[in-house]
Structure 1
Amino acid sequence: MDRAEGTKGGFIILVRNDIQAVEFTKDTNGNAEINGIRIVLKNRELLVYNLYCPANKQLSLDAIDIPDAGCLILGDFNSHSQIWGYDEMDHRGEEVENWQIDQNLQLLNDPEDQDTFYSRRWRTTSTLRPRLCD
C-alpha cells in the first residue's frame, strides 16, 4: 500500500494468491498511518495491522480494533522501552506498554534477537518489534 502523501514509504504484506485478503486503512485524522489486511484461513479470520507513526504525530492506538483472537500488530511506533530492547523508556514507550497491558497483548520478539534493519542514513541497526493480539 503506497503512502498517500510524500515520495517515500508505504508497506507491503504478501499473501498467497489462493488466500482471500482484503486491504483496509484506519482513519487517524492525519496522525499515525494504520493499514492492514483481513484474511480468512480455514474459516478463521486474521487481522494484520501495520502502524507507522512519525515522532511528531500521535500514535492513535485507539483506532486499532482488537478482536478477542486472530490479530497481529506490526509497525514502527517510534517509541523506546526496555522490554523491546532499548536502554531507556520514553513517553511513547510508556504509552505503548500501557496500551499493550490494557489490551492484553503479547510481545512476540526477544530484545536479544538479531538486528533486522539497517539505516543507511544513520548507520545504525535495530530489530523490528512486532506485537500480537490473542
Structure 2
Amino acid sequence: MDRAEGTKVGVIILVRNDIQAVEFTKDTNGNAEINGIRIALKNRELLVYNFYCPANKQLSLDAIDIPNAGCLIFNSHSQSWGYDEMDHRGEEVENWQIDQNLQLLNDPEDQDTFYSRRWRTTSTPDLGFATDDIAKCTTRTV
C-alpha cells in the first residue's frame, strides 16, 4: 500500500500468484497503517496483517481483529525482541500481545533487520506475531 505523503513508498505483503488472496485495509483515523490479506484455505481463512506506525502516531491496536490466525508487524522496543530497554510503545505492544494470546515468532538472538544511516545503528523493528495454531506450524532453520 503506497503512502500518500513522505519519501518512503509504503508497506507490502507478497503472495504467490497461485494463492488466492483478497486485500483489505483498516481505518485508524490517520494513525497507524494497517493493511492485510485474507487467504482462503481448505478448511479455514487465514488473515495476514502488515502494520506500520510512525513514532508520532497512536498505535491503534484496537483496529486489528484477531480471530484464529494472523501475523503482525510492529515498531517498538522491548527486551523480549532484543532491545536493551523497554519503551512505552514496547510495553503497549507486549500488553496487547498478552491480551490477544499471540506468540512472538522472532528470536531476540536473530540478526538485526534494520540499519539506520542517520544514527549508524542496527535494530530489529520488524516483528512477527501469530496465533498459537500458526506459531506451532512455523519451523526455524539454523
TM band (smaller chain)? 0.7 to 0.9
Structure 1: segments with no counterpart, 5+ residues = 128-134
User: 1:118: Cα distance to partner?
Assistant: 2.1
**How many residues are paired up?**
124
Is contact 1:25–1:36 with CA below 8 Å preserved after alignment?
Answer: yes
Preserved contact between residue 12 and residue 50 of structure 2 (Cα < 8 Å):
no
Shift of 1:43: 3.8
Change (3 A) 1:93 1:119: same
Say which structure is richer in strand: 1
| Cα distance per residue 1:48-78 (max 9 Å; x no partner) | 11111111100000000000235555xxx33
**Equivalent pair of 2:47/2:69 in contact (CA under 8 Å):** no
Where structure 2 has 5 or more consecutive residues not aligned to the other structure, the ranges are 125-142
| Cα deviation code 1:92-129 (max 9, x no counterpart) | 111111100000010011110112222233322222xx
Provide, for residues 3-50 of structure 1, a one-character-per-residue CA deviation record: whole Å limited to 9, x for no partner.
Answer: 133342311211111111111110001111111111123343111111
CA distance in 1, matches of 2:19, 2:75: 32
Kept in 2: contact 1:31–1:53 (CA 8 A) = yes
Poorly superposed stretches of 4+, deviation over 4 Å:
70-73
> What is the percentage of aligned positions where both structures have the same residue?
95
Q: 1:107 to 1:3 in 2, by over 3 A?
A: same
Q: Does the CA-based 8 Å contact 1:26-1:33 persist in structure 2?
A: yes
